[in-house]
Amino acid sequence: MSSAWPALVPILSDEHVRLRPHGPADVPRIVEQANDPRSRRWTTVPMPYDASHGRAFLEIVRAGWDSGERRFWAIEVDGAFAGTVNYTRRVPGTAEIGFGLHPDARGRSVATRAVRLVLEHAFAHDGVRTMTWRAAAGNLASWQAAWANGFVQHGTWPAMHANGAGQVEDLWIASVRAGDPRRPRRPWWEAADLEGERVRLRPWRPEDAPTTWPDEQAELYNEGMAPTPENFADWRSSRLHRMSVGQGVFWCIADAGTDQALGGIQVQRLDVDFTRGTGLIGYWLHPHARGRGALQDALELLVPHAFAARTDDAGRSGLGLHRLQAGTDEDNRASQRVLRRAGFRECATERAVIAHEDRPPTGALTFELLDTDDRVAQTVEPAIVPVLETGSLRLRPWTPHDRPSGERDLDRDSLRFMPAGAQPTAGTYDAWFARGERQRDRGTVVKWCIADRATDAPLGAVMVFGIGAGAPGDAELGYWLYADARGRGHLREAIPAVLDHAFAPLAKDGLGLRRLRAVTDLENVASQRLLERHGFHRWGESHGSFARADASVADAAHFELLADGRASLAPAGGVLVVPVLDGERARLRPWRDEDVPRIVQWCADATTRHWLAGLPDPYTDDAARAYVRLMRRAAASGTTLGWCIADPRTDLAVGSVSVMDLRGEDRTAGEVGYWIHPDARGTGVATEAVGLALSHAFTSTEDCGLGRRRLRLNVAAGNDASAAIARRHGFTHVGTDRLAEPLGDGSYADLLRFDLLQAEWSDRS
C-alpha cells in the first residue's frame, strides 16, 4: 500500500466512538457485517461475502484516500471494529455520506456518533459545505443516524436503488449544511400506548394486516386511508416513515380486550411551520368495528394526549399541540357526529372541494378544537325528533320516502309567505331533506312532518330551529302546510303539542326552552292569527326584513312566547294586524313600498287634489313613502287600520280604505275613510272594498275583528261619488257642518256626517 495511507487518515473520537484507518485485522469483522441479513437487505455488497471481498474493500478505501475523492474511517468501539463511515465528493463543496455497522454495535447510537464526528471534520477541515445522504426507502435505521444529526429529507426518488438481491427500490434523499444545528430538525414521532376501557391506541404491528378489503363506505369517505390485505406492509412502512420525518402520528385503534385491530386514527401536518401547534385528525374503522363507539372512545384518548406537553422528541409524553382540526365530507354524517360529540366546533364549509372519480365533487366541513375550549359545553348531540300524536295527526321525523308529488308545487301563498327553500317540491326534496338532517345533527333544528294519523301522509311541517344560536333557551318556531292541506285546522292542532315539547324540561326529554320566537310576513294575517291563538304576542315590526321565496322582500311581524306562564313583552296599546281580505273585484292588503308610484299618480290627479286639501305640491316619491310609513306606524300604535285596495288579479294598488280613530275617547267606535285611483273610479271597486273593511270592523274581537259598535264617515258636500258609497252600505246622514271642509283650491264646503251601527250592519248582512 502507498506510504501516504493510512497516515493520511485523521483520528476522530468522542468518549464512546473512535474513527481510525481500516486495517487487515478488520477483515474478519467486515466479512461478518457484510453477511448479516440486515446489511444484505439494505446494501449492494457481493453475495456471499468472503475474506477476499474484505481485502478488496481495503484497496477501495486506500484508493479513495489517495485520490482525495473518498474518505473512509473504521468505526471502533471498545477496541473492536464496529463498522465503516465514509463520504464521497460529488461536486465542489458537496459530498455524500454513507455508513454501516457490525450487528453487535447496533442500537447503541454508534452510527449517530460516527456521523457527527465525520460531519464536524468535513465541514471544518475539508471544504465541504453540504453533506447529502441517501438510502433505500424503508431503511429507518440509517435514517435515524442522519435525522439525529440534523439531516432533512427532501423526498423520494422513485426506482433509483438496486439492493443486493437485484431488486429495484425507491430512494430517500436528505442533506445537512455546514451551518445547520447537529440535532433533529423535526420530531421522530412514536405512537404512544394509550389505554381506555373499551379501546386502546397503540403502534401498528405486522400482524395487524387486515383479512378483508375496505368496503364501499370506506372507499367513499376514506379513499386510500385504510390498508388492504395486499398493501398492508407498504402501508405500514409509509406510516413509519411519515412519523420519522415529523409529519404525523399514526395509531392502531385496538379492542382493549382482544387487542384486535379495529381501525386507525392519526394526527398529521405536524411538520407545517405556518400552522405550528395545529394537528389534522383523520380516522377510519374496519366494517366489522363500526357502530360500537370505537371512534368516540379513540378520540377521548387521543385529544388529551395531543394537548399534553411534549417533553421528548418522540411525543410519547404528549404532542404539545394547542389546536386540533378535522375535516369530513359533507355527506359523512357519522363522522360529523363523532366530532361534535367530542366537543369539536364546526368552523368552515367548503363547496364542491372533494373530487370523486364516479360522481360530482362534494363539499367539506371543517371542525376545530382548542386546548382552552370547554369540551363539555361544546359537545353536541344530534337533535331527537320524538313522535307526538294528537287527535288526528302524528308529528314524526321526515323520511326519504316523504317526497311530495309533482302536483304539490309552490302556490302563490307559499311563494309570498315563506322564505326560499323552506317548503320542498318534488325536485328539491332530496336536498331539502339532507339539509334538514345535517341541521338535526348540529342539534339546532327539530323538524317534524305533520302527517295524517290514519294514512301517515305528509300534510306539512312544523319545526323549532335556531336552537343554541342565540341566548341559552332561545329558539324560533316555523311551520307550513301544503296547499291542499290548508283550512282544516291542522296547525292549530299540531302547534300545542310542539309547544309542550319545546318548553318541557330536558330532564323530561323536552327541549328545555324558555322562549320561542316567530316571524311572519306582515301580510300573512292567517299566520299571525295562529300565533296569537296559541299565546304568542306581537312585539314589533321590521321593515324590508322578510325575504320571500318569490325573491321579493316584505316587512315582517315579530312574535314571542315565554315559558313561564307564557307571558309576553307586548307593547302597551296593542299592535293591529293588517289582515288580507279578498273580494271578487278588490283585495285589501297592507301597503308596500312598491305601491309608491301609484300613490304619486293618485295624489297628482286633479280630482283627488280638489277634494283633499293639504297634499304636498308637487307630490313626490318621498311623500308617498312617508304615507306608507304613516300607515304602518298607525297600525303599530293601534290607532288606524289602513289597507291598500289592490286588484285581485294583478295585485296593483287601486285605492285606499281605512278604519281610523280606534283609540279615541269611545273605544267602541271608529271612522271610515277611502280614496280611489283615477283608473279604478266607476268600476265598483271602492264599494266592495269599503264593504270588506266594514265587515272586518264590525266582526267581534273573539273572531279576530275590530269589534266596533259604531262607525262614522265624513264626506264633503258635492263629492257625490263618495257619498253614494256610504249610502249603499246603509250609512245614515246624521248632520251637516257648514263650510267645515277645506278644499284643494282654498275654498270650503259643507261637511256631511254619516254613521252606521253594528246592529244595522248585521241586519243588512
Smallest CA-to-CA distance from 659 within 693, 626, 685, 632 is with 693
Q: Residues with Cβ < 8 Å from 735, sequence gap 6 or more?
A: 753
- Spacing of C-alpha 280 from chain mean position: 17
Q: How many domains does the chain have?
A: 4
Q: Which three cell numbers stand for residue 205?
A: 404491528
User: Could you give the CA distance from residue 450 to residue 447 in angstroms, rounded to a whole number?
Assistant: 10
pLDDT for position 166: 75
pLDDT for position 461: 97
Question: 226 and 273: one domain?
Answer: yes
Q: Which of 378, 406, 435 is the last residue of a domain?
A: 378
User: What are the backbone angles phi and psi of residue 299, rounded to the nearest 5°?
Assistant: -65, -35
DSSP 288: G
Domain assignment of residue 507, yes or no: yes
Domain assignment of residue 576, yes or no: no
Q: Are 644 and 590 in contact (CB under 8 A)?
A: yes
User: What are the backbone angles phi and psi of residue 673, rounded to the nearest 5°?
Assistant: -140, 155
Question: 749 and 601: one domain?
Answer: yes
Question: 325 and 206: one domain?
Answer: yes
Question: 121 and 215: one domain?
Answer: no
Q: What are the start-end ranges of the H helices in 486-594? A: 490-503, 525-533
DSSP 469: T
Question: 361 and 476: one domain?
Answer: no
pLDDT for position 1: 38
DSSP assignment of 321-343, as one string? -SEEEEEEETT-HHHHHHHHHTT
- 220-232: burial string, b at 16+ Cβ within 10 Å, e else: bbbeebbbeeeeb
Question: 236 and 364: one domain?
Answer: yes
Check: pTM over 0.85? Answer yes or no.
no
Domain assignment of residue 185, yes or no: no
Domain assignment of residue 568, yes or no: no
pLDDT for position 765: 63
Domain assignment of residue 298, yes or no: yes
Domain assignment of residue 1, yes or no: no
Longest dimension (CA), the chain: 143
Q: Which three cell numbers stand for residue 460?
A: 306539512
Question: 365 and 410: one domain?
Answer: no
Q: Tens digits of per-residue pLDDT, 359-382?
A: 899 999 999 999 999 999 899 989
**Residue 618: is the preceding peptide bond cis (ω within 30°)?**
yes
Residue whose entry in the numeric block shows the C-alpha cell 300565533: 531
Q: Residues with Cβ < 8 Å from 132, sequence gap 6 or more?
A: 90, 94, 95, 96, 97, 173, 174, 175
**Residue 505: is the preceding peptide bond cis (ω within 30°)?**
no
CA atoms within 13 A on the CB side of 61: 26
User: Could you give the CA distance from residue 765 to residue 760 in angstroms, rounded to a whole number?
Assistant: 9
Smallest CA-to-CA distance from 515 within 464, 563, 577, 573 is with 563
CA angle 123, 124, 126 (to 5 degrees): 70
3-state secondary structure of 275: helix
Domain assignment of residue 5, yes or no: no
Q: Are 463 and 453 in contact (CB under 8 A)?
A: no
Question: 168 and 25: one domain?
Answer: yes
pLDDT for position 2: 43
Q: Tens digits of per-residue pLDDT, 440-488?
A: 999 999 999 999 999 999 999 999 999 988 788 999 999 999 999 998 9
Range(s) of the domain holding residue 541 = 388-562
Domain assignment of residue 398, yes or no: yes
Q: Which of 527, 562, 597 is the last residue of a domain?
A: 562
User: Could you give the CA distance from residue 550 to residue 529 in angstroms, rounded to a whole number?
Assistant: 23
Helix/strand number for the chain, H first, E second: 20, 32
Q: Are 318 and 306 in contact (CB under 8 A)?
A: yes
CA atoms within 13 A on the CB side of 554: 21
Q: Residues with Cβ < 8 Å from 97, sequence gap 6 or more?
A: 85, 86, 87, 115, 118, 119, 131, 132, 133, 146
Question: 334 and 409: one domain?
Answer: no
Write the single-letter amino acid at 692: L
Question: 477 and 601: one domain?
Answer: no
3-state secondary structure of 454: coil
- 734-761: burial string, b at 16+ Cβ within 10 Å, e else: eeeeeeebebbeeeebebbbbbbbbebb
Q: Which of 378, 398, 427 is the last residue of a domain?
A: 378
Give the CA radius of gyration of the chain.
Answer: 43
Residue whose entry in the numeric block shows the C-alpha cell 382540526: 325
User: Exposed (0-12), middle (13-18) or buried (19+): which is 505, by Cβ within 10 Å?
Assistant: exposed
User: Could you give the CA distance from residue 154 to residue 177 in angstroms, rounded to a whole number?
Assistant: 13
Q: Residues with Cβ < 8 Å from 455, sequence gap 6 or more?
A: none
CA distances from 314 to 123, 142, 304, 309 (A): 29, 17, 16, 12
Smallest CA-to-CA distance from 189 within 233, 254, 240, 138 is with 240
Residues of the chain with pLDDT under 50: 1-3, 567-573
pLDDT for position 565: 54
DSSP 293: S
Question: 137 and 165: one domain?
Answer: yes
CATH number of the domain residue 728 falls in? 3.40.630.30
Q: Are 262 and 285 in contact (CB under 8 A)?
A: yes
User: Could you give the CA distance from residue 382 to residue 439 in angstroms, rounded to a whole number?
Assistant: 9
Question: 648 and 552: one domain?
Answer: no
Residue whose entry in the numeric block shows the C-alpha cell 363539555: 376
User: Could you give the CA distance from residue 346 to residue 369 in angstroms, rounded to a whole number?
Assistant: 9
Q: Are 95 and 122 in contact (CB under 8 A)?
A: yes
